[in-house]
Amino acid sequence: MPDFDPLDAVLFDLDGVLTPTAEVHMHAWARLFTDYLAGAGAAPYQESDYFTYIDGKPRYEGVRSMLASRGITLPEGTPDDPPEAETVCGLGNRKNGVFMDVLASDGVAPYPGSVAFLDALAARGDVQVAVVSSSKNARSVLTAAGLIDRFAVIVDGEVAAARGIPGKPNPDTYLDAAAQLGVPAARAVVVEDATSGVAAGRAGDFGLVLGVDRGAGAEDLIAHGADTVVSDLDELVPALTGATDAGAESDAGTGDGAAR
C-alpha cells in the first residue's frame, strides 16, 4: 500500500481514471479506423491498436501513430479542417465528432471508486488535486460527470495546444500542473491508466506514479513506469484514511520501485 503522507498533490488523468469515457473514445476510434483502413486496403483495425498506438496521446498524435503503424502518410492539415478532409487533423476531427455525439446523448458518470478516492483526499484537507488530460474535451467531460468544481487546475489538450506544451509521454503537462499548484514533482502523485501517461510520470520524476488498469495491463503499466497498479482507486482509500491493518498486504501489483 503506497504511502501518501509525504505527498502534497495528486494529478489525475481523466479518461479511464476519473470517468469511463475511455470506452467512448475506444469506440469512436474503432469506428473511424475500421472504415478508414478498410477503404485504404490496409490491415484491419484491432482493439489492441488502441492501447498500442492511441491511448493517452493527444488526438492528432494518435492519428499519426495509428496511420504510421499501417505505413500510411497523410498531409497534416490544420485543426480547422472539416471532418471529411483526408488529413491527419481531418481524421482527428472526424473521431471527435463521434465522441461528442455519444457524450451529448448518453452523458457520463464518474467511476464510484474514483469519487471515493477524491472524497478521501478532500477529507484529509492537506492534498491538492489537478486534472492532466490529453483530451481537448476535458472540461466538457468533467462538467457532464459533475466533477468540474473539484479541480481548480485543469491542464488539457486545449491548454497544451495554446501554450505549446508537449503532450504525453512527455512529462511537461504534468509538470505544468504541479507548478500551478506550487508543488515540486517529487511531492506529487501521477494517476494514469495509459502506458504513455505512466511513462510521462516516470520521466517527470514524480514522487509516486499510480497505474489504474482499465485494459492496458498491469505488467505493461509497470514496465512503462508505474510504481503501483490497482484495478480501481477505491483500493487505495485505506491508505488515505489510515484504515489499513498493520502489516496488511495490498492486492495492488507493484514494480521494483513501488511507493518510492
Catalytic residue status for 101? no
Whether 121 and 10 have beta carbons less than 8 Å apart is answered as yes
CATH 3.40.50.1000 residue ranges of the chain are: 9-20+108-254
- Chosen CATH of 23-106 out of 1.20.1630, 1.10.3470, 1.10.150, 1.10.530: 1.10.150
Catalytic residue status for 3? no
Tell me the average pLDDT across 73-84: 96
Which backbone phi and psi does 130 adopt, to 5 degrees? Answer: -150, 160
**pLDDT tens digit sequence for 17-73:** 999 987 888 889 999 999 999 999 999 999 999 999 998 888 999 999 999 999 999
| pLDDT at 254 > cutoff 70 | no
Q: How far is CA 135 from CA 50, 56, 125, 185, 246, in A?
A: 15, 8, 28, 22, 40
User: Residue 151's pLDDT band (boundaries 50, 70, 90)?
Assistant: very high
- Which residue is catalytic, options 3, 8, 15, 234? 15
CATH 1.10.150 residue ranges of the chain are: 23-106
CATH topology of domain 9-20+108-254: Rossmann fold (3.40.50)
Q: What is the pTM of this model?
A: 0.76
- Which residue is catalytic, options 8, 13, 176, 213? 13
Q: What is the largest CA-CA distance in the chain?
A: 60
**pLDDT tens digit sequence for 63-76:** 999 999 999 999 99
To the nearest 10 degrees (0 to 180), the angle between helices 88-106 and 59-69 is: 120
Mean pLDDT for the chain overall: 90
